[in-house]
Amino acid sequence: MKVHLLIVLLLVSNITLSSGVLDVFAAAVSVVYKFFQRDDLLPFDFKRLEKDLKDSLFGQHIVSDVVLKAVTSFMNDSNPNKPLVLSFHGTTGVGKNHVAKIIARNVYKKGIQSKHIHTYISEHHFPHRTKLDLYSAQLKQWIHGNVSSFPRSMFIFDEMDKMQPQLIDVIKPFLDYNARVDGVSFHNAIFIFLSNAGGNVIAEVALDFWREGKDREELWMNSKELETKILQNIFNNKNSGFLHSSIIDHHLVDHYIPFLPLELKHVRQCVMAEMLHLNMTQDYDLADRVARNLPFFPEEEKIFAVKGCKSVRQKLVLYVD
Ligand SMILES: Nc1ncnc2c1ncn2[C@@H]1O[C@H](COP(=O)(O)OP(=O)(O)OP(=O)(O)O)[C@@H](O)[C@H]1O
Ligand SMILES: [Mg+2]
């Protein structure tokens, strides 16, 4: 009897022991997994982001200021009440993707290459209007799945203005205050929307400022109601995916950030930066020549670069023997 009892006891303890071992093993795997995931995150450093923006972003004082403050306060907040949602607006080549990359390399060790950054380009990922229901389901699942496995995920939506309103509405629940969807919290995620929508309004305001003889650096988010104008423009534009969008209506975007059109001196700075990138000796006169040969608008005054700093590298190599 005693022997049987001993055997039963041994068996039971063995089972609990082995399941205990399994539990410990699973916990260890989860700790190691979390460690490696977290390992992709950089400790946030305000000074590093400030320096990065100062050194590599030209002519965008509003963007530098708002991005630095918004990203810093979000990254330093241990308990944010909503995800960070930034909407970048401006004409072509003024640095919208560039700034998304700068933020990425200040959050993740692998920068824009991090597997926790998910970029969607509307016309590439969601090209067919007939498949909107499928895209909606996929998008919902992608966002939910990625944030549940890694809360500090970043989502970049490029060409946001070309996105179908139905898809924009899919994102909405994830952006909301105190958002929890199926038990997953989205408060630590970062959403960045990029679009040309509002770009013309921004360019008009910048041009007015220039014509009034005012210093570009005096232009701020609230000058000439810039942020409100962008908002109204994209909300009421029939060609914009943002048209009457619930995201705007419910004030889920933290900041609509205006990217100003770039002037000659900024394009010159871009050429100089490209020289460094191409391991060339920096040559101011050459940079000036390359920049001056790009198209500028308006027709008469030629103040702003039509394509911003886009294709600067491609033009530069034409000048090199
Ligand atoms: N303000 C800027 N400061 C420094 N470099 C810039 C700036 N704007 C653009 N560039 C350079 O030009 C390249 C193209 O810019 P970017 O892709 O960020 O433009 P964009 O605003 O996203 O334009 P689009 O609306 O056409 O997508 C960048 O990779 C960067 O090298
Ligand atoms: Mg872009």
Residues 6 or more apart in contact with residue 6 via CB below 8 angstroms: none
Strands 255-258, 296-297: parallel, antiparallel or unpaired by DSSP? Answer: unpaired
- Report the distance separating Cα 31 and Cα 254, nearest Å: 33
Distance of CA 19 to the CA centre of its chain: 44
- Report the distance separating Cα 63 and Cα 57, nearest Å: 9
Protein residue whose Cα sits closest to atom 17 of ligand 1: 97
Q: Please check whether residues 137 and 206 belong to one and the same domain.
A: yes
Is 23 inside a domain boundary? no
Contact 82, 176 (CB under 8 A): yes
Ligand 1 pocket test target in 56, 87, 92, 94 with most atoms within 8 Å of CB: 94
3-class secondary-structure state, position 257: strand
Residues, Cβ < 5 Å to ion ligand 2: 96-97
Q: Please check whether residues 215 and 307 belong to one and the same domain.
A: no
Supply the pLDDT for residue 172: 87
Is 237 inside a domain boundary? yes
Residues 6 or more apart in contact with residue 132 via CB below 8 angstroms: 126, 164, 166, 167
Q: Which domain holds residue 270?
A: 264-318
- Report the distance separating Cα 67 and Cα 90, nearest Å: 15
Is 158 inside a domain boundary? yes
Both tokens of 251, joined, read 């004030």
Instruction: Concatenate the DSSP letters of all residues of 169-196 into one string.
Output: HHHHHHHSTT-EETTEE-TT-EEEEEES
Ligand number nearest CA of 195 is 1
Ligand 1 pocket test target in 160, 270, 306 with most atoms within 8 Å of CB: 270
Supply the pLDDT for residue 37: 55
Q: Please check whether residues 118 and 223 belong to one and the same domain.
A: yes
Q: Give the binding-site residues of ligand 1, using a 6 Å CB cut-off.
A: 56-60, 90, 92-98, 194, 196, 262, 270, 308-310
Q: Please check whether residues 51 and 193 belong to one and the same domain.
A: yes
Supply the pLDDT for residue 222: 76
Supply the pLDDT for residue 91: 96
Prediction pTM value: 0.87
Q: Please check whether residues 223 and 305 belong to one and the same domain.
A: no
Instruction: Concatenate the DSSP letters of all residues of 22-54 into one string.
Output: HHHHHHHHHHHHHHHHHHTBPPP-HHHHHHHHH
Residues 6 or more apart in contact with residue 13 via CB below 8 angstroms: none
Is 29 inside a domain boundary? no
Supply the pLDDT for residue 1: 42
Last residue of a domain, one of 222, 242, 258: 258
Is 35 inside a domain boundary? no
Give the count of domains, the chain: 2
Is 102 inside a domain boundary? yes
Last residue of a domain, one of 241, 258, 275: 258
Q: Please check whether residues 79 and 124 belong to one and the same domain.
A: yes
What separation in angstroms does the CA of 231 have from each of 82, 165, 168, 256, 277?
20, 16, 16, 7, 36
Q: Provide the residue-wise pLDDT of the chain in tens; the chain has 321 residues.
A: 444 544 444 454 554 555 567 677 666 665 555 555 556 899 999 999 999 999 999 999 999 999 999 999 999 999 999 999 999 999 999 999 999 999 999 999 999 999 999 999 988 998 888 999 999 999 999 999 999 999 999 999 998 888 888 888 889 889 988 767 788 899 999 999 999 988 999 999 999 999 999 999 998 877 778 888 888 887 777 766 666 666 777 778 999 999 999 999 999 999 999 999 999 999 999 999 999 999 999 999 999 999 999 999 999 999 887
Q: Please check whether residues 200 and 273 belong to one and the same domain.
A: no
Closest residue by Cα to residue 73 from 82, 20, 35 = 82
Supply the pLDDT for residue 287: 97
Protein residue whose Cα sits closest to atom 11 of ligand 1: 309
Q: Give the CATH number for residue 109.
A: 3.40.50.12190
What element of type H or E holds 85?
strand 84-89
Supply the pLDDT for residue 18: 58
Q: Please check whether residues 75 and 168 belong to one and the same domain.
A: yes
Q: Please check whether residues 248 and 124 belong to one and the same domain.
A: yes
